[in-house]
Structure 1
């Protein structure tokens, strides 16, 4: 099979490299609009890769997954590809703001009108990524899209949130965020991305857990499951203070339906490991007994 694909693989690797370099060289608001127009003209979907230079899993995707003949063939045939370095390019920052992105790489799958089909992230091997592409194609054919609005409208976001993503001022005081959110419904798009994008805690954790299944249907698994894991890490400290392993185990198990069996085994193992064990922090240069 490797011999059969040898020539095709070389061609597709060159094609992918060319696409990636062109996107990196011209990743701007204008180029983003051109990508959508190209997708409309060619009747293709859009694949967006949000990454940054120095991100290990991002580099691993570039090296091991995107050049693979199976992956490259599907991307070439059915998608217009757009890559953006989120630390260097304004459109990358705006897309991160729009979707409350916190981990990298993050992948956006859209139709030509900018409607979101799915969002995923982290390293995906060839089989996993191919499955994501196929699922995006099938879901788009059914006309099923997430709740996100198709356009980036900066005026829709409060200043503190725009500054967090566009200016890197992410240390927003909770009372500032709370003053905005307390009159909002976190199932709506902007409050949702503020909560997930800024990892908002305190009283919003319980609301988020309660509505997590609905939020996942509306905005996708990636942002919701990532934030639920963050919430459960915070909750662990609360339950440890009460020495309530049973209660915490029940809370963790309550999120099981949000994850695949493999994911739940991994994350529950992390959460339940060393419950109640005192964490000893050794200061540098402290003499050891």
Structure 2
């Protein structure tokens, strides 16, 4: 058996196998092969090549792929006549084919002979039966552009052949030549022929017979005759489509204001002819006039009156016609549109449409809001919305028990000045950190204090972070400053991680971290900064903020040890008062933590050591500090008599701060331990004598039972 004979047997077998699978396939069999391989198969099988030129973003392309080509009837036709292939015109081989065949619209379908020459093209999809008819026309040689063009140039083309030429030009989407040929054909037709079924394709085509045209005027004038030959439904559908399309271009603001004369023509036609859906067309015409005149209030008024009567198919298009009011409207108009949006949602029949309308009108609810508009979304949904809006998410991390959180909710966020800024720049979201997704978000973003406010990029990363409440003007200023990239915490974090060790930058970074209570990170960065400073710089006023910070320099830290060891240098640089006040604050805070129960580790021995340490300092407030130490020592010993005695001496020296943080915890303890209420009252009166804050006096008196 020779080699050529074997190869022929193999090829025949492959053809049979392909035919077998095609026979039982339910839809069009698109081969995953190159165009060159498709042409080779076409030669062997005696077929042509059908090429689907598509893009991933093209809606009609998807419709053909998902709804038309999978049908059995489609498979029966295309698999019998073609080797079928499809190419994404923006990827791989598709890019070259797009240039080679000059593909300008999607979807485009090419009919190629086995040599790779284009014999026909169909631009645009459609229902299966109609689409197959268009492709069948392309399979007939007499309907190819090459043949028709030659015949047209002779000047002897019959009206029937000119109609074939029109149909082919419609398929290939060659509008320039289509207009010329169609106009010439219409001039040759008699009135009776114009209304005949074969020529309906001219009047049905919105490009050849737009609303303001002789063809459309002829259609209106002879509407009854067209209905007899074509059918009432088709004729009415064409007329309604023409009006709807033209009016929408005005309502949506696509048409030019100076073209308002076209609306006058439509108004005249509506008065003259009995047209389908006349009342609704009048409503849409009124909207078009109002849009041309940029009369927002009139547009809103029309929709408020007619919203319940609008067709379901038009709800979305008419709702979105108000989109321009976002930038050109005022708060009163936004409030009217927000209320109108509720009526649109109520009128919608389908849940999907209700959802789309609700989402669309939410932008007007946001604009109409007096104060911050809080979205009813999850964080993930808010981030997606921010991505679409090219904005960021403002996240209010609160708890139900947090007083400052409540203050912001009740007094700051409802203010118009705050709302106007926030609603323009953010998708705003409130999340209780103890409910729903709150605990997970608290963990994710390291939320440890309330209220915390995060400004998040659409990818969920932190752009800026703020802590604590404040009055509206001050808080707004903090947010606006944080929106400047060089001030944002995210920007500073990135610079530090990238290795920026400039001293001025590190100072700014530490202050930023302290402002948001990121104490551990602040300690790390301050240690880095101090490591870069020489001895004279460390005691300079430029870096005193490190030692002055209660979070960074407290008893037992390296910073505090350095401050104590170099106390004299700090005094020469900064003055004794500033240094003494810091040392006093460190010991005073430590003692108040012990008395309040925050520090459960310190012992009597630690307190005695404090007394010994401060002797050499000769602090300006050493008497007050000594009194605090003596009281704390007696408190830890549970020596009620000794504690009372030391309070009698110390309370004479105390003012507001010492009264609240040292004396008050002690008085609460003595109230439970002392037998004599009279003696306790003496202490309270002694303390109150030095308290300037009246509210604090009342608070201490009330809570000690005096």
Q: From the superposition, tell whether residues 101 and 271 of structure 1 become closer, same or farther in structure 2 (CA, over 3 Å).
A: farther
Q: 2:527 matched to 1:210? A: yes
Residue deviations 1:12-55 (CA, integer Å, cap 9, x gap): 24763xx26x35xxxxxxx2111110000111111011010010
Structure 2 match to 1:222: none
Match runs of 1:83-122 below 5 Å = 83-90=430-437, 92-122=438-468
Residue deviations 1:220-239 (CA, integer Å, cap 9, x gap): xxxxx9xx633434448x96
Match runs of 1:87-236 below 5 Å = 87-90=434-437, 92-139=438-485, 145-147=491-493, 207=524, 209-211=526-528, 229-235=550-556
* Mapped partners of 2:413, 2:584: distance in 1: 30
User: What is the Cα deviation at residue 140 of structure 1?
Assistant: 8.6
Residue deviations 1:225-275 (CA, integer Å, cap 9, x gap): 9xx633434448x969x9949749959x99xxxxxxxxx9xx969936848
Return the index of the structure with the highest Cα Rg: 2
User: What is the Cα deviation at residue 106 of structure 1?
Assistant: 0.3
User: What is the Cα deviation at residue 114 of structure 1?
Assistant: 2.2
Q: From the superposition, tell whether residues 248 and 83 of structure 1 become closer, same or farther in structure 2 (CA, over 3 Å).
A: farther
> Among 347, 369, 391, which residue is 1:12 paired with?
369
DSSP-derived class of the 1:97 partner: helix
Q: From the superposition, tell whether residues 57 and 286 of structure 1 become closer, same or farther in structure 2 (CA, over 3 Å).
A: same
Give the gaps of 5 or more residues in structure 1. 24-30, 149-191, 214-224, 255-263
Q: From the superposition, tell whether residues 244 and 106 of structure 1 become closer, same or farther in structure 2 (CA, over 3 Å).
A: same
* Mapped partners of 2:582, 2:332: distance in 1: 42
* Mapped partners of 2:458, 2:405: distance in 1: 24
> Among 395, 399, 405, which residue is 1:58 paired with?
405
User: What is the Cα deviation at residue 211 of structure 1?
Assistant: 3.4
Give the gaps of 5 or more residues in structure 2. 1-330, 336-366, 495-512, 531-545, 590-613, 615-624, 636-665, 681-706
CA RMSD of aligned residues (A): 4.9
Residue deviations 1:199-232 (CA, integer Å, cap 9, x gap): 77xxx9964531379xxxxxxxxxxx9xx63343
Instruction: Choose between structure 1 and 2: higher helix proportion.
Output: 2
User: What is the Cα deviation at residue 132 of structure 1?
Assistant: 2.7
* Mapped partners of 1:83, 1:61: distance in 2: 12
DSSP-derived class of the 1:114 partner: coil
Residue deviations 1:57-79 (CA, integer Å, cap 9, x gap): 00011111111111101111110
Structure 2 match to 1:259: none
Q: How does the TM-score come out when normalised to structure 1?
A: 0.52
Structure 1 match to 2:393: 46
* Mapped partners of 1:206, 1:59: distance in 2: 31
* Mapped partners of 1:134, 1:85: distance in 2: 24
> Among 261, 265, 286, which residue is 2:673 paired with?
286
Q: 2:618 matched to 1:271? A: no
Conserved 8 A contact 1:46-1:111: yes
DSSP-derived class of the 1:145 partner: helix
* Mapped partners of 1:73, 1:101: distance in 2: 27
Match runs of 1:241-260 below 5 Å = 244=564, 247=567
* Mapped partners of 2:584, 2:368: distance in 1: 42
Residue deviations 1:112-163 (CA, integer Å, cap 9, x gap): 2223221111112212221233234332999x73548xxxxxxxxxxxxxxx
Q: How does the TM-score come out when normalised to structure 2?
A: 0.23
